[in-house]
């Protein structure tokens, strides 16, 4: 067994068995190993940002890392934007990056680059293997680091760089040992902290919740009980990685986007309790607005850090408060689908009306993101948000989620600008017959930029500036872009058309794309 | 005038007046400045790898940097792969990367990242502006660094990071001063080195030429005279950034790709003279093959380093040798266009038969690259090669070259796998009505990977490995992919069809795409 095979077999022994791959010559022994190890599923992507985004979506749904397989620093570089999002999501992920043989690096051949330097801004753990016999142990460390609870803002991304001679040299597999599980268990929050929090929560308190507090149903139910008992308000950050939501669960509102909106909301908050979340800050800096959005006089307490057991802390807090009463639940009914002209609001209502129970919804634009408020009141689903602000995440994240959960209908709600960065996810969705329905909010502009430009105080946008926000001239034809990559595509200009096309996409297996012309 | 406007005005004062842009919110003041400064042309790209590749192509043709305009670390990350190619090409280029206001970075908002760390592997010069009044001077330094002759393998890439408060604060422009030109003049090669080289060149000598030695006609003519006088052989590296070629110029052959081919070629070379080039090394490491490809006993001499005046060194060498005789020139005639089934060889012959004089040709795959040998014998053109091995460069490079030289017909000869990474260049080509004819070598596989896989000694490729080389299932439909982005697309399956479609594409203004099904 060579080093490459020891890597793949060690991964599968640890439950890591999906690889989003875009290999090159330096990864040929790894391809050979994938061919030899049936337990590893390899999914080809035609651009590395699709690999990293899909691995993020997979990890958000599974709680286990997928791997990428990337080609030296240039391949890893193409994956950086979605690794940035993944790092903000705190998703476990393992990059496997092939490199030249160790003795070849000094020749500075054309593809040679400083891979560790490329990896550094987006990795919590980096190692370049130095011997083929050590690759198995390096792999265990990579998996452990990806799953280890950590306060590090670079999340759970491990990057293992494999020189070609460590691939082709003799290797050995490392089995999973009992020590492994101990090292990945999050720290419990001390009882004294739970009790202290219980004493201070009241109607003027905001619980800001993230991480497992938004993912595990008992924790979410506990938040509703806490709110019912104390009158506190419940919020997620503006960009949570994943929220389990639906009419049977208590409503946890999402913080708005613009700083003045958050400031207005926070004005009446006297106590902010952070539960796996960070205190709210402005997404961008603006002249004459603060960056830190907690008002003077508001007391900030941390119930649980992101590396601690956030979900259990919420359940313990409910117990400490004797908050056993059933929380009020919205028991929403499916709204009737709207009719007439299409808008982001109408799309949200139609998706909320038609999405099957237990759907997964990924969004990476303002238009798509606005669907959350409707959907959490109408249909049980997992919501996957853009996290790091780098648009182009949503399509790959939906693809990875659909591969993690093939029985759950998955929706990608994407702006046209954002979807272009990583349009290649469509091809992989077609190849894998992934059950992803992609909705393109086709407003033919970078709408957020025009909004932000006007916030500078500019009332008249000159033609040269306007051209930089404009995605028309030429108009993108999303049905052709989808069909070019094997995905059936349709175009909707009215609610009725959109409703009919969405209904058909849901009824049929495999990927679909609907261009919703706004 | 604010800092952003001082940046744009300082750039145009130094002759830098094209910006390949994909801005975000942190760049809104820069957009405002572009709107205010008519001398700056902004070209919107829908993916940052198109920005960086196009700036590379522009810089290769103009000898002056274009800028990119990118959005924080994630936007720069998307540009890394083509910056890697650009760095290997030694092209001057200036990245302008917006960042949060300095006081906002500590809040660790979602898009915050270590931009300097992202820039480091692909930049020769990096600075984060610290005051708005200093932005003008920072800009001069960025331009100077991009143009300064340097041995640094990270080429002429400057990355200037502009915090939002340095954009919106008061700034001042910096005019171009006389000192500037002095600092960008390459060093001359000492006469003693020229004379030493003249003494050792003979029939068993190979001149390996790169940089300005392949770009400036007097230097290229000088190489032919040197060869005629001494019997030496003339070669470019395997991946030269730009070569001026055609039937009126002496033939400089290109080194082959695989190490055993280069070893075979070098076996009879007793003296290797490097003229702006590095000694040949294997692109990848292979078991049982050396990485350094100069045979034992071959004497290696450097006539000119890449930061020196390579072109003048060749002219001086010809003078020192009294090599005044007209070199033999191939005086090639246009070959007849082949008929029947399409192949990479047939495509090369048809492009060579039909390309107008003074065309520009960019290639980034083995199939496309093979056209060089035919074209240099038949039609005067500028050849732009993939340099750093990161496929996906060719389309954006052709786009940038066409914007630099709008009167010259430009061709992009691209593999289907490579073209997918950066397919968004098509949209910008349509918007700018760039005169780029894209030929997709549609073999529906990563052919080089299958070749490299077999080189491992594998004779039967298993289905799981084969799936990672295979671009069918589903087949990519390039005509739809082009039309989706506003570029007329056709498909050719025979030489006759390809010839007719190419002829029409050449006759019509603006971009075209031909999918050549192999």
User: Are B423 and A424 a contacting pair at CB < 8 A?
Assistant: yes
User: Are B481 and A480 a contacting pair at CB < 8 A?
Assistant: yes
Interface of B with A in 128-157 (CB under 8 A): 153
Q: Which spans in B92-190 are helix H?
A: 115-119, 135-147, 164-168, 178-183
User: Are A291 and B165 a contacting pair at CB < 8 A?
Assistant: no
Tens-digit pLDDT profile for residues A55-68: 999 999 999 999 99
Q: What are phi and psi of A382, to 5 degrees?
A: -100, 125
Q: Say whether the peptide bond before residue A480 is cis (omega within 30 degrees of 0).
A: no
Interface of A with B in 70-99 (CB under 8 A): 73-75, 77-78, 80-81, 83-85, 88
Do A32 and A59 touch, CB atoms closer than 8 A?
A: no
Chain A's closest residue to B72, CA to CA, is A390
Strand (E) positions, B448-495? 489-492
Band of pLDDT at residue B366, cut at 50, 70 and 90: confident
Instruction: Count the neighbouring beta carbons within 10 Å of the beta carbon of residue B180.
Output: 15
Question: For position B310, what pLDDT does the model report?
Answer: 97
Tokens of A199: 């004493």
Which distant-in-sequence residues (6+ apart) come within 8 Å of A15 by Cβ?
A64, A176
Interface of A with B in 100-129 (CB under 8 A): 100-101, 103-104, 107-111, 113-114, 117-118, 120-122
Which distant-in-sequence residues (6+ apart) come within 8 Å of B68 by Cβ?
B19, B20, B21, B22, B48, B51, B52, B55, B79, B93, B94, B95, B96
Of B84, B153, B461, the CB nearest to A73: B84
Chain B's closest residue to A444, CA to CA, is B46
Question: For position A459, what pLDDT does the model report?
Answer: 82
- B420 shares contact with chain A (CB less than 8 Å): yes
Chain B's closest residue to A76, CA to CA, is B81
Tens-digit pLDDT profile for residues A290-337: 999 999 999 999 999 999 999 999 999 999 999 988 776 766 678 889
Report ipTM for this prediction.
0.97
User: Are A465 and B32 a contacting pair at CB < 8 A?
Assistant: yes
Mean pLDDT of the B383-390 span: 96
Cα diameter, chain A: 69
- Mean pLDDT across chain A: 95
- Report, in angstroms and rounded to the nearest whole number, the Rg of chain B calculated over CA atoms: 23
- State the Cα torsion A449-A455-A457-A459 to the nearest 10°: 50
Interface of A with B in 270-309 (CB under 8 A): 278, 281-285, 287, 291-292
User: Are B114 and A101 a contacting pair at CB < 8 A?
Assistant: no
Q: What are phi and psi of A138, to 5 degrees?
A: -55, -40
Question: For position B61, what pLDDT does the model report?
Answer: 98
Which distant-in-sequence residues (6+ apart) come within 8 Å of A182 by Cβ?
none
Question: For position B331, what pLDDT does the model report?
Answer: 65
Band of pLDDT at residue B355, cut at 50, 70 and 90: very high
List of chain B residues whose C-beta atoms are within 8 Å of the C-beta of residue A118: 80, 118, 121
- A454 shares contact with chain B (CB less than 8 Å): no
- State the Cα torsion B340-B341-B345-B346 to the nearest 10°: 40
Determine the Cα–Cα distance for residues B366 and B362; give it in Å rounded to an integer: 12
Mean pLDDT of the B146-151 span: 88
User: Are B84 and A75 a contacting pair at CB < 8 A?
Assistant: no
Specify the residue for token string 């070669």.
B235
Do A392 and A421 touch, CB atoms closer than 8 A?
A: yes
Question: For position B303, what pLDDT does the model report?
Answer: 97
Which distant-in-sequence residues (6+ apart) come within 8 Å of A369 by Cβ?
A363, A385, A386, A413
Of B35, B417, B456, the CB nearest to A462: B35
- B26 shares contact with chain A (CB less than 8 Å): yes
Question: For position A118, what pLDDT does the model report?
Answer: 96
Tens-digit pLDDT profile for residues B25-57: 999 999 999 999 999 999 999 999 999 999 999
Do A256 and A238 touch, CB atoms closer than 8 A?
A: yes
User: Are A34 and B468 a contacting pair at CB < 8 A?
Assistant: yes
Determine the Cα–Cα distance for residues A102 and B423; give it in Å rounded to an integer: 34
Task: Tally A–B CB contacts below 8 A.
Answer: 287
Edge-to-edge strand list for the sheet holding A156-163: A41-44, A18-21, A66-71, A92-99, A156-163, A125-128
Mean pLDDT of the B149-176 span: 91
Tens-digit pLDDT profile for residues B424-477: 999 999 999 999 999 999 999 999 999 999 998 888 899 999 999 999 999 999
> pLDDT > 90: what percent of chain A?
92
Tens-digit pLDDT profile for residues A434-443: 999 999 999 9
- Mean pLDDT across chain B: 95
Burial of residue B356, with CB atoms counted within 10 A of its CB: 0-12 exposed, 13-18 middle, 19 or more buried: exposed
* Separation of first and last alpha carbons in chain A: 56
Question: For position A335, what pLDDT does the model report?
Answer: 82
Q: In the predicted model, is pLDDT for residue A153 greater than 80? A: no
Tens-digit pLDDT profile for residues A252-293: 999 999 999 999 999 999 999 999 999 999 999 999 899 999
Q: How far is A332 from chain B (nearest CA, A)?
A: 32
Of B109, B113, B467, the CB nearest to A121: B113
Report in angstroms the alpha-carbon separations of A384 from A219, A241, A310, A425, A470: 18, 6, 18, 16, 27
List of chain A residues whose C-beta atoms are within 8 Å of the C-beta of residue B109: 281-284, 291
Determine the Cα–Cα distance for residues B512 and B411; give it in Å rounded to an integer: 10
List of chain B residues whose C-beta atoms are within 8 Å of the C-beta of residue A25: 283-284, 448-449, 452
Angle between helices B344-354 and B495-507 (to 10 degrees): 30
Tokens of A312: 């259990």
Chain B's closest residue to A470, CA to CA, is B44
- Give the helix/strand (H/E) hosting A451: helix A447-455
User: Are B480 and A476 a contacting pair at CB < 8 A?
Assistant: no
Top pLDDT among A155 and A391 is at A391
Task: Give the best residue of B17, B45, B49, B464 to mutate against chain A (max A CB count within 10 A).
Answer: B464
Question: For position B4, what pLDDT does the model report?
Answer: 98
Of B44, B101, B470, the CB nearest to A468: B44
Report in angstroms the alpha-carbon separations of B5 from B33, B84, B125, B139, B172: 5, 29, 22, 11, 8
Q: Which spans in A148-188 are helix H?
A: 164-168, 178-183
Question: For position A365, what pLDDT does the model report?
Answer: 87
Q: Say whether the peptide bond before residue A474 is cis (omega within 30 degrees of 0).
A: yes
Angle between helices A310-320 and A191-200 (to 10 degrees): 60
Q: How many CA atoms lie within 13 A of B177 on its CB side?
A: 8
CA angle A466, A470, A471 (to 5 degrees): 170
Tens-digit pLDDT profile for residues B187-229: 999 999 999 999 999 999 999 999 999 999 999 999 999 999 9
Q: How far is A354 from chain B (nearest CA, A)?
A: 29
């Amino acid at each position: 067994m060579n080093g490459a095979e020891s890597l793949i077999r060690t991964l599968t022994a640890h439950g890591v068995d999906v690889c989003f791959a875009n290999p090159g010559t330096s990864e040929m022994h790894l391809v050979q190993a994938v061919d030899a190890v049936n337990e590893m599923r390899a999914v080809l992507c035609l651009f590395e940002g699709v690999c990293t985004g899909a691995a993020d979506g997979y990890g958000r749904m599974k709680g286990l890392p997928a791997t990428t397989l990337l080609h030296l620093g240039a391949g890893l570089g193409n994956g950086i934007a979605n690794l940035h999002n993944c790092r903000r999501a705190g998703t476990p992920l393992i990059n496997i990056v092939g490199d030249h043989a160790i003795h070849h690096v000094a020749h500075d051949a054309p593809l040679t680059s400083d891979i560790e330097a490329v990896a550094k801004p987006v990795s919590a753990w980096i190692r370049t293997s130095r011997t083929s016999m050590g690759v198995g142990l390096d792999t265990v460390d990579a998996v452990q680091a990806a799953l280890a609870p950590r306060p590090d803002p670079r999340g759970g991304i491990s990057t293992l760089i494999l020189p070609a001679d460590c691939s082709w040299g003799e290797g050995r597999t490392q089995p999973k040992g009992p020590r492994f599980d101990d090292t990945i268990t999050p720290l419990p929050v001390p009882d004294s902290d739970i009790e202290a929090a219980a004493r201070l929560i009241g109607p003027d308190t905001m619980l800001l919740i993230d991480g497992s507090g938004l993912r595990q149903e008992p924790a979410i139910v506990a938040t509703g009980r806490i709110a019912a008992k104390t009158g506190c308000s419940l919020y997620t950050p503006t960009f949570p990685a994943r929220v389990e939501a639906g009419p049977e669960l208590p409503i946890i509102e999402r913080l708005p986007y613009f700083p003045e909106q958050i400031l207005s909301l926070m004005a009446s908050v006297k106590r902010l309790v952070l539960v796996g979340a960070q205190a709210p800050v402005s997404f961008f800096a603006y002249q004459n607005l603060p960056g830190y959005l907690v008002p003077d006089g508001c007391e900030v307490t941390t119930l649980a850090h992101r590396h601690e057991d956030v979900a259990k802390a919420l359940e313990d807090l409910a117990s400490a408060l004797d908050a056993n009463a059933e929380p009020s639940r919205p028991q929403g009914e499916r709204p009737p689908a709207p009719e007439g002209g299409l808008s982001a609001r109408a799309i949200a209502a139609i998706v909320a009306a038609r999405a099957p129970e237990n759907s997964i919804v990924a969004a990476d634009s303002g238009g798509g993101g606005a669907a959350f408020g409707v959907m959490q009141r109408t249909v049980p689903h997992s919501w996957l948000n853009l996290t790091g602000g780098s648009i182009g995440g949503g399509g790959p994240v939906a693809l990875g989620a659909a591969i993690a959960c093939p029985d759950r209908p998955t929706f990608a709600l994407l702006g046209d600008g954002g979807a272009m960065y990583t349009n290649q996810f469509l091809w992989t969705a077609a190849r894998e017959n992934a059950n992803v329905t992609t909705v393109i909010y086709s407003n033919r502009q970078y709408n957020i930029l025009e909004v932000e430009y006007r916030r500078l105080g500019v009332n008249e946008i000159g033609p040269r500036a306007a051209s930089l926000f404009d995605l028309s001239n030429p108009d993108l034809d999303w049905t052709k872009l989808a069909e070019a990559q094997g995905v059936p595509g349709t175009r909707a200009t009215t609610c009725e058309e959109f409703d009919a096309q969405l209904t058909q996409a849901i009824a049929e297996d495999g990927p679909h794309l609907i261009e919703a012309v706004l």
